[in-house]
Amino acid sequence: MAKNISVDVAVIGAGTAGLVAVSEIIKVTQNFVLIQDGPMGTTCARVGCMPSKALIQTAADFHRRGVLEKKGILGTEGLRLDGAAVMRHVRNLRDHFTNGMVAKTTRYGERLIQGHARFAGIGRLEVAGRCIEAKTIIIANGSRPALRPEWAALGGRVLTSDTLFEIETLPKSLAVLGMGVIGVEIGQAMAHLGVRVVGSARSGRIAGLSDPAVTKAAAEALEHDLELWSGHAADLAAEGGRLVVSAGPNRREVEAALVSSGRVPNIDNLGLEQLGIPLDERGMPHYDPATLQVEGLPLFIAGDTNGREPILHEAWDDGRVAGYNAVRTAAPARFKRRAGLHITFSEPNIVTAGTRFKDLEPGTFVTGRCDFDDGRALIHDQNQGLLHLYADVETGRLLGVEMCAPDGEHLGHLLAWAIQRDMSVFDTLKMPFYHPVIEEGLRDALKQAAARVRKKPHFPEMAFCENE
């Protein structure tokens, strides 16, 4: 074994969580290492949030041509798509974002170690033939797309989000297996770019929605763009050289397939069994979500790999929590997590904030709704979708929202902020609503919910001076 290294903190994984953790650690000690296996630049910038949004934006721009003629803008039939140029544009933007993250990673010089980290014991790691002893270790090694080996064996036509952005040009047809956030975003974007898309949602759930009415509205919106199969497990097979997707009675020959049936935490590639601690069926140690500490050990677990909330701002917060606690010897600080917020950048946006419908106790809440069929949404040609917001039946405190709505990404932020501030529907209705804006739909839903709350304050939607 080559030279041993002894440090205060070792961080496994130079993704978002790992880099944010390091930015906390260096406030206290310079004696750390950041260990990265595989390409640098973070999942978000390389193969995640950023290239997917670049593809979605190009697709939305091209798709918009469909509504221009009725507005008197002619000549759209002359618009053509160069699939290879689309993918080059996505990769150029991807490279821009990735290069920025690589620069943020390589600035740590010798403290950045490239290689695969594995535990050799408590406080001990092996990386590329080196032994690293660390007073504290942060596991921040991300997740990977789930891909069944028999599907991987079908070759390059079977894509995941790791390989999708490398394709030379757009396929003529695409099967999307799994209609979670990634499947919905990429499936619809490909359809908007003229690819024939069939999407398969085994459970019938779409992009993490749990409210059946909102799920139905989301499915109807998606069906304008692609064929949606629900309720059957999908399979892929090569038949005489052709790629065939099937699910229950449905069957299609496709040029390519995107497997978007979930991501697997990389927790299984670390040799955690060396630590002699209890692991659950996924190989996950028990950790406190408020401190991210693995029970009783100088070990923290942050980002996608802990399986808590595999989204960027949560990985960012996890890095902050783990980095802060890793360099403090007192009892680890317990951090209050932000209100939940999940956005699928589809058209309309699919959003949940606060408590999901499925986690609410029946009889304890009232619902307000808006279907965005009029007003500004109509002017924008985005007059479809459904928003359901949930408030406490006794007090009107905002609990959560599920929606498939135009500008849902912005409505979701407003509601997540109000939920985190413990605001009620009555507090929220005292806020300004401009006219005409999509937020007026939100006001309709708030009013509906307010009317159903048991203990209603008597106020005409504006506060009296003496009560403020």
| Residues of this chain that bind ligand FAD (CB under 6 A) | 12-13, 15-18, 35-38, 42-44, 47-49, 52, 116-117, 140-142, 161, 182, 266, 269-270, 303-304, 310-313, 315
Q: Which residues contact 381 (CB under 8 A, 6 or more apart)?
A: 67
Q: 68 or 131: whose CB is closer to ligand FAD?
A: 131
For residues 428 and 431, what is the distance between their CA atoms, to the nearest angstrom?
A: 6
| Cβ atoms 184, 207 nearer than 8 A | yes
> Which residue type is seen at 467?
N
Q: Which residues contact 421 (CB under 8 A, 6 or more apart)?
A: none
In three-state secondary structure terms, 73 is coil
Q: 304 or 371: whose CB is closer to ligand FAD?
A: 304
Q: 200 or 367: whose CB is closer to ligand FAD?
A: 200
Among candidates 345, 327, 310, which has minimal Cα distance to 15? 310
Q: 304 or 402: whose CB is closer to ligand FAD?
A: 304
Number of other residues whose CB lies within 10 A of the CB of residue 357: 21
| Cβ atoms 189, 216 nearer than 8 A | no
Q: Which residues contact 7 (CB under 8 A, 6 or more apart)?
A: 31, 32, 33, 132, 133, 134, 135
Least distance CB 44 / ligand FAD (angstroms)? 4
Least distance CB 207 / ligand FAD (angstroms)? 12
Least distance CB 99 / ligand FAD (angstroms)? 15
Q: 275 or 366: whose CB is closer to ligand FAD?
A: 275
For residues 86 and 435, what is the distance between their CA atoms, to the nearest angstrom?
A: 37
Q: 38 or 194: whose CB is closer to ligand FAD?
A: 38
* Nearest position to ligand FAD, beta carbon: 15
Least distance CB 159 / ligand FAD (angstroms)? 11
| Cβ atoms 57, 172 nearer than 8 A | no
For residues 359 and 268, what is the distance between their CA atoms, to the nearest angstrom?
A: 29
CA angle 228, 233, 238 (to 5 degrees): 90
Least distance CB 174 / ligand FAD (angstroms)? 15
Q: 272 or 401: whose CB is closer to ligand FAD?
A: 272
Q: 204 or 307: whose CB is closer to ligand FAD?
A: 307
Number of other residues whose CB lies within 10 A of the CB of residue 66: 11
Q: 271 or 375: whose CB is closer to ligand FAD?
A: 271
Q: 97 or 426: whose CB is closer to ligand FAD?
A: 97
Q: CA of 324: how far to CAs of 57, 223, 309, in Å? A: 36, 46, 19
Least distance CB 105 / ligand FAD (angstroms)? 9
For residues 202 and 71, what is the distance between their CA atoms, to the nearest angstrom?
A: 39
Least distance CB 409 / ligand FAD (angstroms)? 10
Q: CA of 14: how far to CAs of 71, 96, 99, 302, 389, in Å? A: 49, 18, 14, 12, 38
Least distance CB 190 / ligand FAD (angstroms)? 13
Least distance CB 74 / ligand FAD (angstroms)? 35
Least distance CB 343 / ligand FAD (angstroms)? 7
Length of the chain: 468
> Which residue type is seen at 63?
H
